[in-house]
Amino acid sequence: MTVVIGLTGGIASGKSTVSNMLKNLGIRVVDADQISREVVEVGKPAYQQILSVFGDEILHQDKTINREKLGAIIFGDHSKREQLNKIVHPAVRKEMLNGVEEEKAKNSKAVVLDIPLLFESKLTHMVDKTILVYVDEKTQLKRLMKRNGYTEKEAKMRIESQLPLHTKKDLSDEIIDNNGAIEQTEKQLHEILKKLI
């Protein structure tokens, strides 16, 4: 039986690092962010819907969507974020389920759905078990400012647009504490996988 694992975290919590570790172990990772970029490519149905809602001022000159511009609009506006989610989420879910079905057809031991907003989007029904990549708030803020060059205010705004990691902790089946060295993170991941697979 193929175990469907939901991998989640918060912005700058190190989820991508854990995702890469899983790939290196030969486990397929179906990445919601990557799919969400693919479903909004020029000519795809979601692309047309986004343009009809947000207008063409969110486009680069080559007609691709300027994610920074769109991000700036939706981060400060809950109803606009909802509108975008209603367009993008169903298309992403469909692609993710296709990935799961492909792995089940191959009788893979596991498939990982990498979903940053697993709990916020109420997608736990799509997975058998959840793993949270956790860091404390100070570490998260520091990493995000360093990684993206944000001011403290910009970084806090983005962190606050997601469920707090300490809240996600209570909702998760397994937790990887990513405050320490990468070796510790890897060790925790191996222990969790032994338990789940």
CATH class of 1-27+108-197: alpha beta
Distance CA 38, CA 45 (A): 11
Contact present, 9 and 118 (Cβ < 8 Å):
no
**DSSP H or E run through 28:** strand 28-31
pLDDT at 94: 93
Which residues touch 147 (CB under 8 Å, ≥6 apart)?
A: 12
Q: How far is CA 45 from CA 3, 65, 70, 84, 150, in A?
A: 31, 13, 17, 13, 32
Is residue 142 marked as binding? no
pTM over 0.75? The answer is yes
pLDDT at 98: 96
Domain ranges of the chain: 1-27+108-197, 34-95
Q: Is 12 annotated as a binding residue?
A: yes
pLDDT value at residue 26:
97
Residue 117 is predicted with a pLDDT of 87
Q: Is 15 marked as a binding-site residue?
A: yes
Q: Is 19 annotated as a binding residue?
A: no
Mean pLDDT per 10-residue interval, the chain, length 197 residues: 97 96 98 94 95 95 95 90 92 95 98 94 95 96 96 93 92 97 97 97
